[in-house]
Amino acid sequence: MAALVKLKPLEELFTGRSSVLPGRVVLEFKPDDVRRLFSGLIEALGPDGFFISTLSATDLPEAGRVRLDYFVVLLPEEETVVFRTYLLRDKPVIQSVHDLVPGALPGECEAYDLLGVVFEGNAHLRRGFLAPEDAVELGEYPLRKDSRV
Amino acid sequence: MAKLKLLGLSLRNLLKGPATVEYPREPVPVEPDFRGRHYADLRKCTGCSVCAIECPANAIEIVEVPSGYEVPASNRRRVYPLIDYGKCVFCYKCVAVCPFSAYVVSNEYKLAGPEKPDSGSLSLGTLSRVGGG
Amino acid sequence: MGGRKIVEVPVTLEVPVGPQHPALHEPLLLRVYAEGEEIVRVEVNTGYNHRGIEKLCEGHSFHKSVFVIGRVCGICNTVHTDCYVRALEHLLGVEPRERALFLRVLAMELERIHSHMLANAVLALNVGFENLFMSIMLDRERAMRAKEVLTGSRVMADYIVVGGVRRDLDDSKREKIARLLDALAPRLEFYKRVFEEDETVLKRTVGVGKVSRLDAIRYSLLGPVARASGVAIDARASERYDAYGELNFNVIVNSEGDVWARAMVRWDETLEAVRIARQVLEKLPSDGNPVPDERKLPRKFPAGEAYTRVEAPRGELTYYVVSDGKGPNPYRVKIRTPSFNNIVNSPFMFVGYSLADLPAILASLDPCISCMERVTVIDVEKGARRSIALRDLAGGE
């Protein structure tokens, strides 16, 4: 992963490191640092040095947490790095980065609608973005493990 | 230049007649191994139900063979898989997982009709009748 | 004169839950705010066709989910199954035979051919060139026939499983596919020339919907949309999955960033796909049976996570599969389709262009639309409503 050296200036933000098959590096960070992380990425790599490819939220009810994975592709090598953070399941709140990186918008809207993760500062969040009306009326978040859908 | 050629193409198409296959008056040409209507050959089927378990569309129901048919000894419970072609997506998972390769495949695609199509008559047709049934 | 007339144009695009691209937002609601003819703002409303596939996969076993995944999108079903199956193969540590990998590439490239032809045909239709649309669709039948020879069905391939593919290719079939490609290639060259030279197409597409390279990156645009703006991303070149590591191909990049550039990138990619398919047919290795025995597929999946990327015709498609090792079902399957990024992030592309350019720009994003609904023009001052068919806006009839 030659492109990883580019992330050296941000090393202090990372609290852990693991991997996801096939050989993609996962860097953990604290949820409060999300804006620092992305503004740091813009500074270190330039606004055209990366893009957010996928934003995935996973419900981990046994651990009482919701895991958020930001899959970021570094350009021009086109290598994927995973930035991972954990939110409390009862209050999954994190700051939005869509003003820094507009490409995060769809992922944030989806995570809100399907799992209930609140991205502060994102005015576009709404229920019914993807979930059907009857789920919204029941107040259900479809992808949660205890959801009744 | 291209416009003239396109014009030529249109004129030729006008003279050639429609490209559309006038189905159902004309048959649509399909490949011989197109995934079409399939059914279980009950002379090989043992009623193990793996096909019903594996079907992604839940289109296979295990039902009893009606009386009056001679069922092989390996099929102890006297059951067979009934495929509902309305639900079936023709993925052929059943064909692939059957431990006894009991499925007969074809490239028959004309399945629309006034009655609900299922594989019952085809499957039962593979068995011989017995007694007064 | 009193206030300005603001025209609110809600455009509802409806797509049936059928062999089209339904992974997200169809029908799609674009609320377009226009001053006179010029678009000043667009809002994208989504969520009408959410089928809960990710939740469904958690209820099915890994192997059953392969077929559900294939039905996420009709026109990209091969790439979806390939991505998901490769994630499973990473989890299991299974490596299919070389022959199977080459056959997978063949199926995916044939799909790319017919998908791009459809995309450009729809673009031609939207700029009003119906004759071209019909001609392209006629030639597209050859690509569908080739796919039928290979996989057993024209659209829904159901071709890829864990460990390989479901059918082998014998020599007579190989000949057939080769002949179909030989007949198709000159037609593709012809259509590419039409797009390059025909004035009507050029007038409607050049300079329309321009996206700068920086915007394409910041908004996470993918696929031909990004490549037409100079962003050289292609999952086939970076991941080199399946047999792409052994094939020669180019990543097609344009720099203009307008609708025309996207159409040209698609034509060039189609021609490139024909070249790749021909290479596969020539280099097909014979290292054994590419078809695994589906009765003996491994049931127990070890715990782990896998993230795979694939280059779908519309862009980079990613799958994130989590297995908890406890049961036969996946714990989480996250699918991020390229149109999700392209369409939800698209509103900025329309601003500044006229209403008539809207269908052209939308079609150049290749959102897999099947049928377009009526546009309602609300004259705010008079409070009257008029209905215009989207076709009329496009100047089609």
CB contact under 8 A, C50 and A131: yes
Task: Please tell me which residue of chain C has the smallest CA distance to A77.
Answer: C238
Structural domain tally of chain B?
A: 1
C-alpha span between C130 and C134 (Å, rounded): 6
- Residue C16: φ, ψ to 5°: -70, 155
Average pLDDT over residues B76-103: 89
What is the predicted pLDDT for the residue at C388? 38
Classify domain A12-138 by CATH number.
3.30.460.80
Strands (E), B1-133: 39-40, 60-64, 79-83, 103-104
What is the residue extent of each domain of chain A? 12-138
Q: Let me know if residue B44 belongs to a domain.
A: yes
pLDDT at C195 over 50: yes
Can you list the alpha helix ranges (DSSP code H) found in B28-113?
A: 50-54, 93-97
Option in A58, A106, A147 nearest C344 (CB):
A106
Residue that wins the pLDDT comparison between C307 and C370: C307
Task: Please tell me which residue of chain C has the smallest CA distance to A125.
Answer: C45
pLDDT at C12 over 50: no
Chains in contact with B, counting 3 or more C-beta pairs less than 8 Å apart as contact: C
Report the CATH number at residue B57: 3.30.70.3270
Mean pLDDT of the residues in chain C: 79
Q: At a CB cut-off of 8 Å and minimum separation 6, what does C304 contact?
A: A21, C90, C91, C322, C323, C325
Task: Please tell me which residue of chain C has the smallest CA distance to A19.
Answer: C305
* pLDDT confidence band for C45 (50 / 70 / 90): low
Q: Let me know if residue B23 belongs to a domain.
A: no
* pLDDT confidence band for C389 (50 / 70 / 90): very low
What is the predicted pLDDT for the residue at A124? 78
* pLDDT confidence band for C5 (50 / 70 / 90): low
* pLDDT confidence band for C363 (50 / 70 / 90): confident
* pLDDT confidence band for C181 (50 / 70 / 90): very high
* pLDDT confidence band for C328 (50 / 70 / 90): confident
Question: Do residues C41 and C347 lie in contact, with contact meaning Cβ atoms separated by under 8 Å?
Answer: yes
Distance (Å) from the C-alpha of residue A106 to the closest C-alpha of chain C?
A: 6
Residue C130: CB atoms within 10 A of its CB come to 14
pTM confidence score: 0.85
Residues facing residue A67 across a β-bridge: A58, A86
**Structure tokens of A66?**
């919701």
What is the predicted pLDDT for the residue at C371? 27
Residues facing residue C14 across a β-bridge: C371
* pLDDT confidence band for C383 (50 / 70 / 90): very low
* pLDDT confidence band for C384 (50 / 70 / 90): very low
Q: Does domain C53-208+270-341 have CATH number 3.30.420.130?
A: no
Q: Residue C72's closest CA among C47, C45, C51?
A: C51
Range of the domain at B46: 30-124
C interface residues, B as partner, C-beta within 8 Å = 60, 63-65, 67-68, 70-71, 131-132, 135, 138, 145, 148-149, 152-153, 156, 158, 166-167, 190, 193-194, 196-199, 294-295
pLDDT at B22 over 60: yes
Average pLDDT over residues C384-388: 37
Phi-psi region of A128 (alpha: psi -120 to 50; beta: other; left: phi over 0): left
- Give me the sign of the Cα torsion angle C383, C389, C394, C397: negative
**Structure tokens of A25?**
């590096």
From the candidates C57, C334, C342, which should be mutated to test the interface with A, based on the most A CB atoms within 10 A?
C334
Question: Do residues C227 and C234 lie in contact, with contact meaning Cβ atoms separated by under 8 Å?
Answer: yes
C-alpha span between C89 and C308 (Å, rounded): 10
Which residues between 107 and 136 in chain A have a beta carbon less than 8 angstroms from any beta carbon of chain C? 107, 109-110, 113-114, 128-132
What is the predicted pLDDT for the residue at C394? 40
Q: Which of B95-99, C16-20, C309-313 has the lowest mean pLDDT?
A: C16-20
Q: Let me know if residue B8 belongs to a domain.
A: no
C-alpha span between C6 and C155 (Å, rounded): 43
Q: ipTM of this model? A: 0.89
Q: Which of A132-146, C145-159, C160-174 has the lowest mean pLDDT?
A: A132-146
pLDDT at B6 over 80: no
**Structure tokens of C395?**
């100047």
Low-confidence ranges of chain A (pLDDT < 70): 1, 128-138, 140, 142, 147-149
What is the residue extent of each domain of chain C? 6-49+346-394, 53-208+270-341
CB contact under 8 A, C153 and B54: no
**Structure tokens of B119?**
């594989």
C-alpha span between B62 and B49 (Å, rounded): 7
